[in-house]
Structure 1
């Protein structure tokens, strides 16, 4: 039986920064981490024997974790705290590329900042070899101008790109696409295996862009924290907290549960949710009424929650503002929208019928239920 050992690696040990750029040092460090893999006595995937320790600020202009063949697991990268330890990407290249390689990766107490609006933080690509899953971020922060944060993609045989957790993280800056975009090639049905994502007590406060975008379904759980969209996109189109586009995916992997989140869509154009899913969407104990004092909150065309041919939607114990728009263009089957012990702001207290903006030829056939609403809506 092999004897486990752990080695601490630091980019400073792999050569000095060249003209203030540490890209080469990071590349050599991760290559050394690859060489130090050992056999897993209880399984077939090699495991890491190193912990990477970062401190201070590092400027890079390339991909610090380039793609490598073969699966590996168990890598840990640690910093000294949010903004205390930071990696700054100065080019439009992905900072990290994981192509059927790393599983069980942990990032702790780090900041990531981009000075290029074309940059991606993580390009995660999975094929049938199932080498991409189980990444966690704890107490990390993303700042600056990005194309996207995490992008999940794969080919027609893609099987796993899942089990990702963000715990007490913060996201600021701007995103031309989205902070987390799952399914960059939606024409491949197999990407339904991109699922099981959790966001726990995170602070999302971005200038513009979508926060979560899931083209290929997913089982998503968001608990606690504060989510803020400061403005619409530069072209005037909406920034969205939850964007669930239409696509070819299975209802069994279309579940969004948002619990105890305080949400601020600070521009009239911005949306809490735009959903085209056939699965289940639930908001429990949430509130989006912090900006209900704005004049636009009482306007008939302000609808920050929008659903297109939904199947199951539930709001429980929520405080909401604006109207909720439901567009039904096809005959409904087994579907319902339920409001249970909810309350609307003064600006939004219409009758039940007026609170809902029903559109489409079949909108009036959708089953909508109000239970014990706390604001006396009739």
Structure 2
């Protein structure tokens, strides 16, 4: 078995304390050329690994677009903040233009000092997919973190996972923004995103924004919005804006997460999906210690024309807002063995904020409710 080739930015001209853009560009360009034939398929595989051993300041894209497809690239650091790339320019740090699949990042951080910057712009017509991050961190100020885009007749930019990662900093749009061009119907097929035991504790912006569809699974971790946007607008953990969607692509499952929106300008979820949204054994009781009058109208969970919504074994604060502007169809909203943390919210009238022309038709069921709501 051949020994993998190790690429280090230091071998391509990095100098401590100076801009390392050219050195990082040369490093990624070298990786682009170190490919071998995949015996089991037609996409060449990487024969190298990029290793980051310190802090690198860059001012432009270090992974620029390249022709052809490739897979299996690994970028490995020494640990969060021990290995860090600092972006000072306004461009995306990485651009994946329908090229790289099966990319893995381990033990490194990414920080932006430019609010116009983004971490990754990925556009696909079938090539870009299957990226994974383990023990990685984003911090600083960004326009967005990861942006997933692509023309019509594209159904990739799928199969993403994040393990034990830390989302810090602030985002004008979102840390993960999928379906950047919602007029393209095919972007509904950007699917299968998993976040496991992540620390999503950031200052402002949306954590996950899906303008088109997605199948999202979140398990464990701490989710906190620490501040509020400077412009006073809403920050959200989950933001699913209004738009057209296929029935099969609107799915969110969240399990075992404690949410702290911390400010009434911030929300746990704002969803216009008509698919299935499920919270299992979650809590959002950061407001429980405040007097009820401190946030009488605060509704951290908001749905418009929902299809399936389920809360099971959850501890809930604030109110839940359901806005129904059309006659409900195939709708089921269920609270199963859940509880309201604030005593004044332990009734239907106090807990629900029902709005819209069809508010009286919203279908809500309680099962084994810990507060006795039936």
For Structure 1 versus Structure 2, the TM-score category normalised by the shorter chain is over 0.9
Are the counterparts in 2 of residues 338 and 370 from structure 1 also a CA contact under 8 Å?
yes
Q: Provide the rounded CA distance (Å) in 2 between the counterparts of 1:100 and 1:197.
A: 18
Look up the match of 2:157: 161
Deviations 1:47-92, CA, capped at 9 Å, x for gaps: 0000111111100111111110111000001000011111000111
Look up the match of 1:285: 281
Larger mean Cα displacement after TM superposition, 81-90 or 18-27: 18-27
> Are 2:178 and 1:178 equivalent residues in the alignment?
no
Match for residue 337 of structure 2 among 338, 341, 346: 341
Shift of 1:133: 0.5
Are the counterparts in 1 of residues 71 and 103 from structure 2 also a CA contact under 8 Å?
yes
Match for residue 78 of structure 2 among 80, 84, 95: 80
Deviations 1:1-25, CA, capped at 9 Å, x for gaps: xx65410110111123397011101
Larger mean Cα displacement after TM superposition, 364-373 or 311-320: 364-373
Q: Taking structure 2 as the reference length, what is the TM-score of the superposition?
A: 0.97
Look up the match of 1:351: 347
The 1:272/1:297 distance shift into structure 2, 3 A limit, reads farther
The 1:348/1:215 distance shift into structure 2, 3 A limit, reads farther
Shift of 1:233: 1.6
Shift of 1:157: 2.6
Look up the match of 2:219: 223
Are the counterparts in 1 of residues 281 and 312 from structure 2 also a CA contact under 8 Å?
yes
Q: Provide the rounded CA distance (Å) in 1 between the counterparts of 2:186 and 2:59.
A: 33
The 1:84/1:348 distance shift into structure 2, 3 A limit, reads farther
Look up the match of 1:101: 99
Ranges in structure 2 where 5+ consecutive residues have no aligned partner: none
Match for residue 214 of structure 1 among 210, 215, 219: 210
RMSD: 1.4
Please list every run of at least 4 consecutive aligned residues from structure 1 whose deviation after the TM superposition is greater than 6 angstroms. Answer: none
Look up the match of 1:366: 362
Q: Provide the rounded CA distance (Å) in 2 between the counterparts of 1:23 and 1:188.
A: 34
> Are 2:191 and 1:195 equivalent residues in the alignment?
yes
Match for residue 119 of structure 1 among 109, 117, 134: 117
1:19-168 matches, within 5 Å, as: 20-127=18-125, 130-168=126-164
Are the counterparts in 1 of residues 136 and 165 from structure 2 also a CA contact under 8 Å?
yes
Deviations 1:204-232, CA, capped at 9 Å, x for gaps: 11111000000111000000000001222
Shift of 1:294: 2.6
Deviations 1:67-120, CA, capped at 9 Å, x for gaps: 101110000010000111110001111000001000000000001000001110
SS in 1 for 2:306: coil
Are the counterparts in 2 of residues 133 and 164 from structure 1 also a CA contact under 8 Å?
yes
Are the counterparts in 1 of residues 17 and 57 from structure 2 also a CA contact under 8 Å?
no
Are the counterparts in 2 of residues 297 and 347 from structure 1 also a CA contact under 8 Å?
no
Deviations 1:122-175, CA, capped at 9 Å, x for gaps: 101112xx1110000000011111111100011123221110000000011111
Are the counterparts in 2 of residues 292 and 347 from structure 1 also a CA contact under 8 Å?
no
Q: Provide the rounded CA distance (Å) in 2 between the counterparts of 1:188 and 1:137.
A: 27
Q: Taking structure 1 as the reference length, what is the TM-score of the superposition?
A: 0.96
Are the counterparts in 1 of residues 292 and 342 from structure 2 also a CA contact under 8 Å?
no
The 1:308/1:297 distance shift into structure 2, 3 A limit, reads farther
Deviations 1:309-346, CA, capped at 9 Å, x for gaps: 00000000000001100000001111110000001112
SS in 2 for 1:103: strand
Are the counterparts in 2 of residues 37 and 49 from structure 1 also a CA contact under 8 Å?
yes
Q: Provide the rounded CA distance (Å) in 2 between the counterparts of 1:344 and 1:350.
A: 6
Count of residue pairs the alignment pairs up:
374
Shift of 1:377: 3.7
